[in-house]
A and B are shown apart, each in its own frame.
Chain A
C-alpha cells in the first residue's frame, strides 16, 4: 500500500480544518482574508501538482486497489482544484450575503466538498465511490441552505436533502445487489467477473440502481427535478460549485462505473444511453426557454449540458470520453464566469431576474464582456471553449454512428436532437446578451465597483474560455491520455 498517494487529499482536508479554526482567531471584519488564505493554499497545492513535484502525479493504487491515481484521476483532481479556487473567489465577493459570523464555515465546507471530489476522482471501488459521494453531498446540504434567513435557500436545502438522500438510498441498494451477486466491489476485479453475470437480472438491476444514483448527481433525465429549484434557491457560490464540481464528480464516477467496472454491460446499453441523453437535452433546453430568473435558467441549462455530456457517454468510444473531459474543462470556466457576474451584480437585488442585468454594458464593461462571452460559449459558438467541446462531442457521436451495427439511425437522431437543443439554447442565451446590451428597462446606471480579486477571476475565466477555444491541443492531449489509461 502506498498511502503517500493521498497526500493531496490530506493536505486539502488540513486546509479545510485550518480555515475552520481560523474563525476563532480572526476578527469579524477581516474574515475575507480567511478566504484568500484558502485560495493561496489551494493555489500552492495546484501549482505543485501542475509542476509535477511532490506525490501528486505518482500513478498507482492504494488501500487494496480501492484508491487509484491514474491519468483520469489526475485530470479531474486538477479540474476540481481550479474549480474550488474560482468558487472561493466568488464566495469572497458574496460573503456579505451569507449568515453573518459564519463565513469561515462556508469557506471550509467548500474545501471539504473539494476533498470529497478529489476522492471521487480516485475511487476505484464501490465503497470508496459511496463514501466520496456522501462527503460531497452532505457538505452540499449545508452549503445549499446556508442563507438561513432566506426562505428560498432553506427550501432548496430541504429539497436537495430529500432527493439527495433518496438517490443515496438507490445507490447503496444498487451497490448491495451488485456485491450480493458478484461478491466484488473493486472496479478492476468486477470487470473480470461481470461478463458471467450478464444474464442475472438482480445484477443488472443493481447496475441500473447505481446509474440512478449517479443520474441524480449529474441531473440527467428523469432525475433532474431538483436542479432548477436548488440552483435558484442556493447561495450563488454554492450553485456555481454544484454546477461545476458536483456534476463533474458525477461524470468521473459514471465513466469509471460504465467503462472501467462494467464495460461489457455498458456495450449493450447504448439505446438506453441514447434515449436518456436525447431527452435530457430536450428537457433542459425547452424548460430553460421561458425562464426569467437567471439562476433558474442556468439550472435548466445545466440539465441540457448534462445531456450534451451524455452524448460522449452514449457514443461508447474513446473520442467521446475525451470529449467529455474537454467539454467539462470548458464548462468550468464558462459557468463560473456566469456565476461570478450573477454573484457580483445581482446579490443586492431581491430576485435574480435577467432584467437585473439591464444596462450592465454601461455599468461595468468588464462584467458585461464576461457574461457575454460566457453565454456565447455556452451556446457553443466559435472561437470559444463551448464550441470546441460540442464539436468534439458531435464528432464522437458521428463516429459512433459509423462504427455501430444496427444503431445508425438512433445515433443520427441523437445528433439531430442535439442540434435542435443547441438552436433552442441560442435563443435564451442571446436573451441574456440582449438584456446586457440593448435592454432599456433600467434607471440604475451606477457604475459597479469591482474588487481586484473579482477582476482577476473574471480575467482568468475569459482567458480560460478563449484558451480552450483557440488552443485546444494541450488539454485535448491530456484528456485523450487520461481516458486511454483509465478506460478500456
Chain B
C-alpha cells in the first residue's frame, strides 16, 4: 500500500476505533486522536522528503477498482501540486488535534468528527479519481457543520450553522454537476483524472461544452473557497466554530476548491479557462479590496481574522488568473503558507477566547503582559498575514505579484492587489495587535495564564513551518515548478492564438513574453535564495 493511504488512513482508522471506546475514558480518547494524527504528520514529512522533484507522472501511486461499470477506482498519488498540500494538511491536522483540549463536552464525538475531517481531506488531496476527489471532500465537510452546530460559540450559532451548511452544500453540488458533466463529455468512461486528461489530449472537448462546464467548476469551487461575492459564510462561520474546526476548515479544507481548479479545471479546459480568467481576476479584486475593507471595520478579533483569510484567497485567485508558471506556482505556495497561517491564528484566538470568554477587541488589551508566548505568536502571525519577509506568505504573495505583473491584462489588478496586501492588510493587522496585545491591561484579565509547554507545541509547530518555508521556499518551489509548467504549457498556444495579431507582431510578442518570463524567473530565483 502506498504511504498516502497510511497518511489519510490513520486518522480515519482512529475515528472508527473511537466509536467503541467508552466515553468516560477521556485520556485514552485524546491519546488515540493525538497519536493517529502524529503518525499521519510524521508519515507526511517522510513522504515529502522522499518525493523526487520533476519526475514524470505521479509518485506513491496506488489504485484499486471500486465500481468497475462506472470506471471509479480508488486511485491516489502525488505530484508537485499536492505534495505540499498533504504535508500542510497533516501538520495542521496534528496541531488542531492538540488544540482540541478546549472542548469540554461530548469529547468522544468531537474527536471522531475531527479525525474524520482530517483523514477525509488528506485523502481528497491525494485522490486522482474525480468521484473520490468529491466524495472524500464531502466526507470531511459534513463534520464541519455538525461541529459548528454542537460546539459552536456565541448567539449566532444556529444562523451560522445553517448558513455555512447551505452555502457550502450549494457550492459542492454545483461542482459535482461540473465533475459529472466533465466525465460525460470527456467520453473516457472513467473517473480517473490521468485517463480523462489523456482522452482529452487525444480528442479535445468542444469549446461549447467547455464553456458550460468551466463556470460550474469555477463557481462551485469558488463558493467553497469564499470567492467574492460568495464569501459571506466564511467570517461568521469561522468566528462561531470551535477553534480546531476553524483551523482545519480555514487552513486545509478551503484549499480543496483551489486545488480542484488547478488540478482539474485549468489543464482540462484550457479555452474556457482562458476566457474566464479575466472575470476571475476582477472578482478577486472584490476579495482583496472589498473584504479587506470589511476586515478593517471589524470589532471582533475572530471576524477580523476570518475576513482577512477571505482576503488572502484573493491573492491565490490572482495567481491562478495569471495563467503563467510564476503566478500559478505562487498560488500553490500561498495555499500552503496560508494553511499554516490560518490554523495558527485561529488556534491563538481560540486560546484567548478560552481564557477570556470574549474576542471583542474593545474588551481586550495589554494581553502581551500576561500571555507573553501567545501574544508574541499572535504578533508573528499578524506580521506573516501582512506579508512580512521571512514568513512563507511573503514568498507566495511576492511570486503571485511577479506572475500577475507579467500578464499585461492584469496590470491594473496587480496594482490594486498590492495596495490591498500592503496597505489595507497592514492597517487592520497592526490595529488589531495594538488593541489586543498592547495598551493598558483591564483589571479583570489579571488572572490569565500563559500556555504551558504542551499547549505551546501546536503553535510552535505551525510557526516553525511558516519559518522553514519562508526562509527556504526552494523546498516547495523545486517540487511545484515542474508540474505547474506542465499545466501552463497548455496555455502557450491558447494565448498565442487568441491574440488578434499578425505573424510579425506575434513573434515580437513572443519575444517580449519570453523576456518577461526570464525576468520573472530571475526574480523567482532571487526569492528562492
Contact = CB atoms under 8 A, between A and B. Distances in A.
B233 to A, nearest CB: 13
A395 B139 contact: no
A415 interface: yes
A415 B149 contact: no
Contact of B68 (A383, A394, A473): A473
B5 interface: no
Contacts of B139: 382-383
A437 B176 contact: no
Interface string B310-341: 00000000000000000000000000000000
Contacts of A59: none
Contacts of B451: none
A290 to B, nearest CB: 15
A126 B195 CA distance: 47
Question: B-side binding surface: helix, strand, loop or mixed?
Answer: helix
Interface in A352-410: 376, 381-383, 387, 391, 394-395, 398-399, 402
B183 interface: yes
Contacts of A423: 166, 169-170, 173
A460 to B, nearest CB: 18
A33 interface: no
Interface in A408-434: 412, 415, 419, 422-423, 426-427, 430, 433-434
B138 interface: yes
Contact of A398 (B134, B162, B177): B177
Nearest to B23: A365
Contact of A376 (B68, B135, B142, B166): B142
A427 B166 contact: yes
Interface in B125-174: 131, 134-135, 138-139, 142, 145-146, 149-150, 158, 161-162, 165-166, 169-170, 173-174
Interface residues of A, number: 28
B69 interface: yes
A351 interface: no
A438 to B, nearest CB: 5
Nearest to B181: A398
Contacts of A438: 149-150
A398 B180 contact: yes
B67 interface: yes
B173 A422 contact: yes
B294 interface: no
Given A415-B177, A419-B173, A423-B169, A430 B67 contact: no
B162 A402 contact: no
A474 to B, nearest CB: 10
Contacts of B69: 476-477, 480
B66 interface: yes
Contacts of A433: 146, 149
A382 B180 CA distance: 16
A391 B177 CA distance: 9
Nearest to B72: A472
B67 to A, nearest CB: 5
B135 A434 contact: no
Interface string B234-246: 0000000000000
Nearest to A408: B212
B185 interface: yes
Interface size, B (range): 20 to 34
Contacts of A415: 177
A430 B145 contact: yes
A427 B149 CA distance: 13
B497 to A, nearest CB: 27
B525 interface: no
A477 B146 CA distance: 34
A391 B173 CA distance: 10
A426 B169 contact: yes
Contacts of A399: 184
B183 A395 contact: yes
Contact of B150 (A381, A391, A395, A437): A437
Contacts of B183: 395
B67 A382 contact: no
B165 A426 contact: yes
Contacts of A382: 134-135, 138-139, 142
Contacts of A402: 184-185
A426 B166 contact: yes
Contact of A476 (B67, B131, B158): B67
A221 to B, nearest CB: 22
Contacts of B180: 391, 394-395, 398
Contacts of A383: 135, 139
Contacts of A376: 142
Interface string B168-203: 011001101100110111000000000000000000
Contacts of A422: 169, 173
B150 A419 contact: no
A222 to B, nearest CB: 27
A419 B131 CA distance: 18
A480 B69 CA distance: 9
Interface in B27-80: 66-70
Given A394-B177, A419-B173, A472 B135 contact: no
Contact of A473 (B66, B135, B181, B184): B66
Given A395-B184, A434-B149, A419 B67 contact: no
Contacts of B134: 382
A419 B180 CA distance: 13
A427 B177 contact: no
Interface in B95-132: 131
A422 to B, nearest CB: 6
Interface string A99-128: 000000000000000000000000000000
Given A383-B139, A402-B184, A423-B169, A394 B176 contact: yes
A390 to B, nearest CB: 9
Contacts of A387: 135, 138
Given A376-B142, A415-B177, A423-B166, 15 more contacts: A381-B142, A382-B135, A382-B138, A382-B139, A395-B184, A398-B177, A399-B184, A419-B174, A422-B169, A423-B170, A426-B169, A427-B165, A434-B158, A438-B149, A473-B67
7 contacts: A382-B138, A394-B180, A395-B70, A430-B165, A433-B149, A437-B150, A473-B67
Interface of A: 376, 381-383, 387, 391, 394-395, 398-399, 402, 412, 415, 419, 422-423, 426-427, 430, 433-434, 437-438, 472-473, 476-477, 480
Q: Which 4 A-B pairs have the closest CB atoms?
A: A382-B138, A382-B135, A419-B173, A398-B184
